[in-house]
Chains A and B, each alone.
Chain A
Amino acid sequence: MALLEIENLTFTYNAAHTNALENISFSVGRGEFVCVCGPTGSGKTTLIRLLKREISPAGSYSGRILFDGQDIRQIDERTAAAKIGYVCQKPEQQIVCDKVWHELAFGLENLGLPNEAIRRRVSEMACYFGMEDMFDKRTDELSGGQKQLLNLASVMIMQPDVLLLDEPTAQLDPIAAAEFISTVHRLKTELSLTVIMIEHRLEDALPLSDKVLALENGRLKLFGPARAAAAELAVSPAFRDALPSALRLWGRFDIKSEPPFTVGEGRAFIESSFSNRVRALTREAYSHSDAPALEFKNVYFRYDRNGADALKNLSFTVYEGEIFCILGGNGSGKSTCLSAASALVKPYAGQIRVFGKKLKDYKNQTLYRNCLSLLPQDAQTLFLHNTLREELDGVDTQDLPFDLTPYYSQHPYDLSGGQQQLAALAKVLDTKPRLLLLDEPTKGLDARAKHEFVRIIKALRSHGVSVVCVTHDVELACLMADRCAMFFRGEAVSCAPAAGFFADSSFYTTAISRMTRGYYEGVSTLDEAERICRLNVK
């Protein structure tokens, strides 16, 4: 018997005219891993929150949701709370308590368990997740990835049968995201846990899924076994951008073979379907202008006197009119470098010049007028008012390569992640910067919003704006950058035009590059892969 059955579910938000979900039916068995995908606004979150009664959105619904054969509205409170677990995309905000051990115990305290029982389960959980080292730590000392694992552990401690995950990896860097997903997979296989996960970055999640559920405009587009569903999604314009690179490449050809998910499967698909007579594409050499926009010369910085150097002998130059991407892991000094460039922190040695002028010669905040502007990681730090209209009051929105007027009456916090990012960008562009600094600009954005963002940044460059972008996202850098640098422990260890940069790295590079390495040369984007494959059709 299925663990969860959804029958003809239709849902309307209070004061809304259209249905957010319409006539949705599917069922999920014990131990299944279901991946939910769909563009922003397709009703993914609404659906998953309806499955968790405590946080169901306010509105009216018809149809039935059965958990273990019982209508979800009739289950007693304790079972509903414990047996259906829920983790959302914000690692920081989901944490309730100040210490790790207390956070783990929180759910069991709510159920009124006695001290001894809680002690036992907390210890068990900490062992299973390998959290012994951070058990006594404050929750705010943890990294984003650790926070999200803590959130998972504090839900698992209630021993749920179903785990609902709402884009759990959206705010994590790729390494932490992969770790999170593999932990979920381990829970699924070892405890036969049922998992329903919304994801917009399917590279890691899809290979582990048993089934895929796709939503479009509140309707069920398809629900079925992962491979079959993926084959269908790969040719659908609304869905394909979110899929793994191998699958997207497969979707561009009309070849009857098993759809590939992983890099290895992608390589097998390329080798079996295409020859490598033509090994490389001809490409234009990249040349930058001679005028430097931002120069770092032997810059050293540390946050406190006894700490380690966050920036160590950092030197690089960004030229006018180019998009420069800085890649690197956590703690490599990427974001610190942007803070130093915008004079928010002061290096203890070395020199930083913006448009040839030393930072300290920009007096009276002139650095921030018609010169340089920083888009911070968290767009919410930029909003000061109650509506978008007040927020953009006095901002010249005529020349912007995007339009926000439809959302003017909304509160900035009510906008979607992508819209918030654009609103933030509009504010940042109001100072008419010639140098734009971006800190993880596409974190948490879905594939469509990301492509839109890349288009906008390229449009800005064509207006003469120089761009420095810090990111974990190699695929983004590959789409957008003219030149790239890799940071490691506060130093710029390599710096090269994008094409060569990705061809030369072996791990820190795109999935396409890893897939084609040794078979073709210097292929790193999907479009390039498609082009070279078409030249090599057997």
Chain B
Amino acid sequence: MIAIENARIRRALKIIIPFAAIPFTVLLGGTVFSARSYAFVSLAVAALSVALFISGFEKKQTGARRLVIVTVLIALACAGRFIPLIKPVASIVIISGIYLGGEAGFLTGAFSALISDFYFGQGPWTPFQMLAWGLVGLFAGLSSGVLKKSRAALLVYGALAGAAYSAIMDVWTVLWYNGAFDIKLYIAALGTAAPYTVSYAASNVIFLWVLARPFGQKLERMHIKYGI
């Protein structure tokens, strides 16, 4: 085993790694991978920020029930990706963020991406997907007050989230293909992805329209009956 037995060294490593990781990434991007530095740095930053968030979650105490509920939402989102044409993933992430808080929203989004890619194919896009869906959940959690009260705001948020997700993923596509950002290619990518963008936004609106209220009731019941 390579588990480090000495607690002091382990603690020291824990402090050093995050501080060393960022300059190291920049250095590597600037020298070794200079031809495609933007792509490299952006991927590294996406992966690191997801890792940072998860390590924060690791340190906290999470009750068994809360953990299970979040996992159930993650699995529902993954299972939902199998539905043809309309995808409930983002709407479940949003609902999770609204009712269980920003952190749960981020986790639902990030893990839904990671786990569903087991079935749909892992790739360098996975960290971006994790980050994009995670942020959709996080912002839903941060603005939960408004989104809970107004259905219109919720639907607008859903549509925006769908479009934003698509836009973020296209940035990565261009960066990866071209090495640096290129507006012409980006517009082309947006154009080819337009049907998907529309379908993301539309499925968010449809699912949030239909599911938000019953889902909310179910989670409220969990809250009242089991104290989650």
Contacts and interface: CB of A to CB of B under 8 A. Distances in A.
A binds B: yes
B1 to A, nearest CB: 6
Interface string B210-228: 0000000110010000010
A411 B3 contact: no
4 A-B pairs closest in CB distance: A115-B1, A386-B217, A411-B221, A115-B3
A112 to B, nearest CB: 12
Interface residues of A, number: 6
Contact of B221 (A58, A114, A116, A386): A386
Contacts of A58: 227
9 contacts: A58-B227, A114-B3, A115-B1, A115-B3, A116-B1, A386-B217, A386-B218, A386-B221, A411-B221
Interface in A338-387: 386
Contacts of A116: 1
Contacts of A411: 221
A411 B218 CA distance: 11
Given A386-B217, A386-B218, A386-B221, 6 more contacts: A58-B227, A114-B3, A115-B1, A115-B3, A116-B1, A411-B221
Interface residues of B, number: 6
A116 B3 CA distance: 11
Interface string A116-127: 100000000000
Interface in B188-228: 217-218, 221, 227
A6 B16 CA distance: 53
A525 to B, nearest CB: 42
A274 B3 CA distance: 73
Interface in A103-120: 114-116
A255 B174 CA distance: 90
Nearest to B217: A386
Contacts of A115: 1, 3
Nearest to A411: B221
Interface in A395-425: 411
B69 to A, nearest CB: 14
Interface in B17-39: none
Contacts of B217: 386
B71 to A, nearest CB: 10
A411 B227 CA distance: 17
Nearest to B226: A58
A424 B3 CA distance: 53
Interface string B53-83: 0000000000000000000000000000000
Contacts of A386: 217-218, 221
Contacts of B227: 58
A386 B221 CA distance: 9
A382 B227 CA distance: 26
Nearest to B71: A96
Nearest to A115: B1
Q: Which of B217, B221, B227 has the most CB of A within 10 A?
A: B221
B70 to A, nearest CB: 14
Nearest to B220: A386
A69 to B, nearest CB: 29
A386 B219 CA distance: 12
A390 to B, nearest CB: 11
A114 B218 CA distance: 39
A114 B227 CA distance: 33
Interface in A46-98: 58
Nearest to A54: B64
A411 B224 CA distance: 13
Contacts of B218: 386
Contacts of A114: 3
A180 to B, nearest CB: 25
A154 to B, nearest CB: 15
A115 B2 CA distance: 11
A51 to B, nearest CB: 19
B214 to A, nearest CB: 8
A231 B1 CA distance: 60
Contacts of B3: 114-115
A438 B217 CA distance: 32
A119 to B, nearest CB: 10
A58 B227 CA distance: 10
A114 B1 CA distance: 10
Interface string A321-352: 00000000000000000000000000000000
A111 to B, nearest CB: 15
Interface string A16-54: 000000000000000000000000000000000000000
A93 to B, nearest CB: 10
Interface in A148-183: none
B2 to A, nearest CB: 11
A464 to B, nearest CB: 38
A475 B1 CA distance: 56
A114 B5 CA distance: 10
Interface string B1-19: 1010000000000000000
Contacts of B221: 386, 411
A136 to B, nearest CB: 18
Contacts of B1: 115-116
A14 B227 CA distance: 13
B205 to A, nearest CB: 23
